[in-house]
C-alpha cells in the first residue's frame, strides 16, 4: 500500500479516545524514511518512521488511512476578512523561510538554528514561530492552516524619514567651495524620477538613460519658462547643485527597475521572448518524479457534435481540457465540456485528475484495471495559461486544502507547455481529425458542409477520448524520452504508464492525496437554489434530499413561503446537486425528482438549450394563436350578424310579450323537429327520400297595448300549469 504526503494515519488502540492520528509531512526520495506529526497534541514534534514499518502496520491493520481530514479549513480566499488575511500572511512570512530549507527543518538541532534565523529576519518571537510552524504541519501544510487566532506582534513598518543633512560622498565642487552642495532624493523627487522613467525611457523610442535624465529635469524640475525670440517656451532650470545628479537618477533607477519590464517596454514582448528571456532547460528537467509538475491547457476540439436530446440539432464544437504529468507524459485527467475556456472548465479537469479512473471509465461502459490508468492524485506544481489561473480562484487553489503551486506561462509562449501542446496535436492528428463532423480545410464552392456530418453526442465523444487516452498512456512508445541511468538499469520501457509506475516506486514525495469530498468542495462551482413546495428548484430542475424530507422543507415552503440556499453542482451532469453543511465540511446529496427524470444523464447546458428552444417555440406559437383567434372572431361576428338580421326580419311587428310567450311549447315543437332531422340523418336508407317538411313557427300577432315595453313576470300558477302539461305529454 502506497503512502502519500498529507495522508492521515490512525494508529489502532484499545481505547478509542487514545487513538493517535498522525499526518505524513515528508517522504525521502528513496522511499526509506517517513516523517509524521501528531495532529492533536498541543506540543507535537516531527516523528521519524521507516516506510516499510508503516506499510506493514497498514497491512496488519495496526493502522488505517483516514479519508476525512478534521483539520481541513475550507474557506475560499474571497471570503476571508482583511484581518484574517493579515494574520495569516504575517505568520506565513516566517514559516515560508523555514519550510524553504527542506527536510533539514525536521531535525531538532537544524530546526532550532533555522528558527533563530527566522526570528532574526522577521522579528517575531521564537515561541510564536514554533507555534505557527506546528499549526502549519498539523493543519495540512497549507497557507490557510495559519488562519486560527495567533498572538501576532508588530505591524506595518513606517517609511524611513530622510535626514536633512546631505548624504553620500561630497562632489569635487563641494570640496573646492568647502560647502555642502546637492540634494537628497526624497519621496517627491522619487515620484518625479518614476514619472520621467515611464515617459522618456521605458518606451519603444529606446532613448539613452542620459537623455531620459535631461528630459526629466526639463519636464518636472523647471522653475519657470522664458519665451525665446521665435516664441518658443524654454524651461529655466535651477543651478546644478540644487538638482539631483545623473548618478542619483541612475542609482535610483537601477535599484528599483524591473529588468523584465524594461526590456519588454523597450523591445516588445515577442522580441523579449525571442532574444532576452531566460532559458532554463526543458520541461522534463523540471520534474523530479510523478506529480512534481502537471501541465494543463484547453483547446476547441476540431469536431462538431449533435445534441443528445435531439440528434437533428448540431451543438457546435466542444472544449477539450487535458492535464499531463511532465515526468511520465501520462495524461492524468481530461474533460470535455460545452463551456468556453474558463476557471470552471479548468476545475472540472482538476476534479477528473483526482477521480478513481476505474470507476470513471466504468461510468462510460469501459472496463479497465487500475494499472492501465493509475493516476488519481494532486500535483505539487501546476503549469497553466494565464487567464483561468489568475485571480482569487487560483489564489484559493494555492492557499486552500489543495495546496498546489500555480505557475502561469506568458502569452504567446506555447513552447513553455510543449508537452501538453504535443498531446493536443497527437489527439487531433490521430483521432479527432478522422471523426465524422471534424473540421476540414477551408471549404471551396460546391464542397459539402462538414458540419452536417456530425453524429457524435458529448457522451460518445467522451467515450472516444477515454479510449484515445488509454491508448496513449499504455501504447505510446516515446523513443526520444530522456531516460535516466537508473531507468536504464531497471530496463524501463518508455511508455507513459511504465514511467509513471517506476516513478511512483522510486521517486516519491511529490504526489499529494486528499479525500474526494474535500476536493469536490474546493472545485465545484456554487450557485443559489430555491426551496419551494415543488422541491429544490435549480436551473428549472426539481430535486429532493433526505434532509429536506426529514425537516419538512417543502411543507414549510408551501405554508410560509420559499427561501434560497447555496448549492454546489457539477455542470456536466444534472443528476445530482449538493448542499454544503457544517461550514463546508460535508455535503447533502440532492437527487432529481421524477418530474424531471427525462433529463437524467444530461448536462446543464443541454437542459438550458432545451428550455431555450421551448421559449422559441412558445413565441412562434403566439403568432399562430393570434391569427387563429382573429379568424375565429371574424367567423363568429359574421354568423352573429347574419343571425341578428334574420331574427329582426322574423320578429318585425311582434311585441316583446308575444316573443317570450309559450316558450315551453315552442321548445317542444323545436325538439320534435330536431328529432326528425337527426333520425333521418342516422337512418337515411330507411326513408323514401322525401325532403323533410319544415314546420313553421306560429307568428302570433296581437294588439299592442300602451305599455309595450313591459313584460310581466310569469305567475306561479302559470309555471305550475306548464310543468304539469309537460309531465302529461311525456306520460302519453
Identify the sign of the CA torsion 390, 395, 396, 401. Answer: positive
Query: Residue 424 has which C-alpha cell?
Result: 493536443
Does CATH place domain 287-518 in 3.30.420.10? yes
Longest dimension (CA), the chain: 150
For residue 418, the model assigns a pLDDT of: 66
Chain mean position to CA 717: 84
Instruction: Please answer whether residues 193 and 252 qualify as being in contact, where contact means their C-beta atoms are separated by less than 8 angstroms.
Output: yes
At residue 133's C-alpha, the angle toward residues 131 and 137, to 5°, is: 115
Residues with Cβ within 8 Å of 414's Cβ and at least 6 positions away in sequence, in order, are: 421
SS3 for 336?
strand
Q: How far apart are CA 529 and CA 580, in angstroms?
A: 12
Provide DSSP, 427-475.
HHHHTGGGSTTB--SPPPTT---GGGG----HHHHHHHHHHHHHHHHHH
For residue 682, the model assigns a pLDDT of: 46
Q: How far apart are CA 5 and CA 25, in angstroms?
A: 6
Q: Give 296: exposed, middle or buried? Use CB within 10 Å, 0-12, 13-18, 19+.
A: buried
- pLDDT means over runs of 10, the chain (732 residues): 84 71 87 88 89 87 84 71 84 88 87 90 89 88 72 41 62 71 81 85 79 87 80 82 82 77 70 58 67 88 90 91 91 89 80 90 92 89 73 56 70 59 80 85 74 90 93 89 88 92 86 75 79 93 93 92 88 84 75 91 85 84 84 90 89 85 87 80 49 48 46 55 58 50
- Residue by residue, what is the 3-state secondary structure of 45-67? CCEEEEHHHHHHHHHCCCEEEEC
Distances (CA, A) of 552 to 203, 539, 549: 67, 22, 5
Question: What would you report as the CA-atom Rg of the chain, rounded to the nearest whole angstrom?
Answer: 42
Q: Which helix (H) or strand (E) holds 578?
A: strand 576-581
Which residue is listed with cell 472545485?
523
Q: How far apart are CA 577 and CA 494, in angstroms?
A: 42
Q: How far apart are CA 416 and CA 384, in angstroms?
A: 10
Which residue is listed with cell 522619487?
190
For residue 411, the model assigns a pLDDT of: 54
SS3 for 248?
helix
Strand partners, 696: none
Which residue is listed with cell 316558450?
663
- Residue by residue, what is the 3-state secondary structure of 193-209? HHHHHHHHCCCCCCCCH
CA atoms within 13 A on the CB side of 65: 17
Strand partners, 336: 320
> Where do runs of H (alpha helix) occur along 651-661?
656-660
Query: Residue 360 has which C-alpha cell?
Result: 470513471
- Residue spans of the domains in the chain: they are 8-66, 77-146, 174-275, 287-518, 534-639
E strands present in 12-150: 20-27, 33-38, 47-50, 63-66
Q: How far apart are CA 680 and CA 689, in angstroms?
A: 9
For residue 237, the model assigns a pLDDT of: 84
Q: How far apart are CA 458 and CA 339, in angstroms?
A: 12
Q: How far apart are CA 78 and CA 89, in angstroms?
A: 15
Which residue is listed with cell 509531512?
25
Q: How far apart are CA 473 and CA 495, in angstroms?
A: 7
Instruction: Please answer whether residues 32 and 50 qualify as being in contact, where contact means their C-beta atoms are separated by less than 8 angstroms.
Output: yes
- Kindly report the backbone phi and psi dihedral angles of residue 617, in degrees, each rounded to the nearest multiple of 5, phi listed first: -65, -35
Amino acid at each position: 500500500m502506497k503512502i502519500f504526503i498529507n495522508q492521515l494515519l490512525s494508529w489502532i488502540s484499545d481505547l478509542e479516545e487514545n487513538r493517535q492520528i498522525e499526518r505524513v509531512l515528508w517522504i525521502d526520495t528513496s522511499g526509506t524514511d517517513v516523517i509524521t506529526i501528531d495532529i492533536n497534541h498541543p506540543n507535537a514534534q516531527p516523528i521519524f518512521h521507516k516506510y516499510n514499518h508503516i506499510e506493514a502496520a497498514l497491512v496488519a491493520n495496526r493502522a488505517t488511512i483516514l479519508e476525512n481530514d478534521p483539520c481541513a479549513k475550507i474557506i475560499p480566499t474571497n471570503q476571508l476578512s482583511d484581518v484574517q488575511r493579515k494574520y495569516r500572511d504575517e505568520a506565513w512570512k516566517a514559516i515560508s523561510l523555514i519550510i524553504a530549507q527542506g527536510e533539514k527543518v525536521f531535525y531538532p538541532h537544524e530546526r532550532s538554528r533555522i528558527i533563530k534565523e527566522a526570528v532574526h529576519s522577521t522579528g517575531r518571537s521564537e515561541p510564536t514561530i514554533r507555534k505557527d510552524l506546528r499549526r502549519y504541519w498539523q493543519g495540512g501544510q497549507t497557507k490557510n492552516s495559519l488562519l486560527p487566532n495567533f498572538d501576532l506582534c508588530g505591524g506595518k513598518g513606517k517609511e524611513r524619514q530622510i535626514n536633512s543633512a546631505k548624504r553620500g560622498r561630497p562632489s569635487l565642487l563641494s570640496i573646492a567651495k568647502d560647502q555642502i552642495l546637492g540634494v537628497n532624493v526624497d519621496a517627491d523627487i522619487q515620484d518625479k524620477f518614476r514619472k520621467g522613467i515611464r515617459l522618456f525611457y521605458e518606451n519603444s523610442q529606446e532613448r539613452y538613460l542620459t537623455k531620459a535624465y535631461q528630459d526629466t529635469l526639463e519636464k518636472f524640475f523647471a522653475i519657470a519658462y522664458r519665451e525665446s525670440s521665435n516664441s518658443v517656451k524654454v524651461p529655466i532650470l535651477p543651478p546644478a547643485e540644487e538638482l539631483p545628479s545623473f548618478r542619483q537618477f541612475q542609482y535610483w533607477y537601477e535599484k528599483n527597475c524591473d529588468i523584465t519590464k524594461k526590456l519588454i517596454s523597450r523591445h516588445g514582448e515577442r522580441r523579449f521572448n525571442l532574444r532576452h528571456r531566460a532559458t532554463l532547460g526543458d520541461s522534463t528537467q523540471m520534474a523530479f518524479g510523478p506529480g512534481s509538475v502537471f501541465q494543463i491547457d484547453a483547446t476547441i476540439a476540431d469536431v462538431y457534435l449533435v445534441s443528445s436530446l435531439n440528434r437533428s440539432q448540431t451543438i457546435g464544437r466542444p472544449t477539450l481540457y487535458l492535464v499531463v504529468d511532465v515526468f511520465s507524459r501520462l495524461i492524468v485527467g481530461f474533460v470535455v465540456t460545452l463551456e468556453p475556456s474558463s476557471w470552471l472548465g479548468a476545475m472540472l479537469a482538476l476534479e477528473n485528475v483526482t477521480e478513481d479512473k476505474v470507476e470513471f471509465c466504468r461510468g462510460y461502459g469501459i472496463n479497465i484495471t487500475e494499472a492501465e490508468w493509475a493516476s488519481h492524485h494532486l500535483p505539487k506544481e501546476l503549469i497553466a495559461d494565464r487567464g483561468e489561473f489568475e485571480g482569487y480562484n487560483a489564489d484559493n487553489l494555492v492557499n486552500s486544502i489543495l495546496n498546489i503551486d500555480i505557475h502561469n506561462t506568458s502569452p504567446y509562449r506555447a513552447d513553455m507547455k510543449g508537452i501538453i501542446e504535443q498531446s493536443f496535436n497527437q489527439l487531433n492528428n490521430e483521432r479527432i481529425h478522422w471523426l465524422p463532423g471534424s473540421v476540414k480545410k477551408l471549404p471551396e464552392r460546391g464542397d459539402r458542409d462538414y458540419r452536417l456530418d456530425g453524429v457524435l453526442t458529448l457522451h460518445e465523444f467522451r467515450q472516444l477520448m477515454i479510449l484515445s487516452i488509454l491508448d496513449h498512456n499504455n501504447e505510446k512508445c516515446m523513443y526520444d524520452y530522456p531516460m535516466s541511468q537508473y531507468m536504464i538499469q531497471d530496463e524501463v520501457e518508455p511508455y507513459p504508464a511504465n514511467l509513471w509506475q517506476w516513478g511512483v516506486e522510486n521517486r516519491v514525495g511529490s504526489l499529494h492525496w486528499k479525500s474526494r469530498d474535500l476536493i469536490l468542495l474546493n472545485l465545484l462551482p456554487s450557485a443559489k437554489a430555491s426551496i419551494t413546495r415543488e422541491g429544490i428548484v435549480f436551473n428549472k430542475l426539481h430535486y429532493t434530499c433526505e434532509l429536506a424530507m426529514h425537516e419538512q422543507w417543502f411543507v414549510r415552503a408551501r405554508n410560509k413561503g420559499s427561501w434560497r440556499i447555496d448549492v454546489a453542482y457539477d455542470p456536466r451532469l444534472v443528476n445530482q446537486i449538493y448542499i454544503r453543511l457544517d461550514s463546508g465540511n460535508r455535503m447533502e446529496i440532492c437527487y432529481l425528482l421524477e418530474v424531471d427524470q427525462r433529463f437524467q444523464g444530461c448536462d446543464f447546458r443541454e437542459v438550458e438549450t432545451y428550455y431555450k428552444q421551448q421559449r422559441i417555440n412558445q413565441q412562434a406559437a403566439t403568432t399562430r394563436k393570434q391569427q387563429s383567434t382573429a379568424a375565429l372572431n371574424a367567423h363568429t361576428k359574421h354568423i352573429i350578424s347574419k343571425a341578428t338580421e334574420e331574427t329582426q326580419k322574423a320578429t318585425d311587428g311582434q311585441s316583446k310579450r308575444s316573443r317570450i310567450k309559450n316558450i315551453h311549447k315552442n321548445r317542444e315543437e323545436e325538439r320534435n323537429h330536431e328529432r326528425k332531422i337527426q333520425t333521418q340523418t342516422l337512418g337515411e336508407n330507411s326513408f323514401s327520400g322525401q325532403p323533410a317538411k319544415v314546420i313553421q313557427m306560429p307568428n302570433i300577432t296581437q294588439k299592442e297595448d300602451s305599455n309595450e315595453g313591459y313584460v310581466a313576470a310569469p305567475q306561479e300558477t302559470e309555471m305550475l300549469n306548464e310543468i304539469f302539461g309537460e309531465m302529461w305529454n311525456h306520460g302519453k
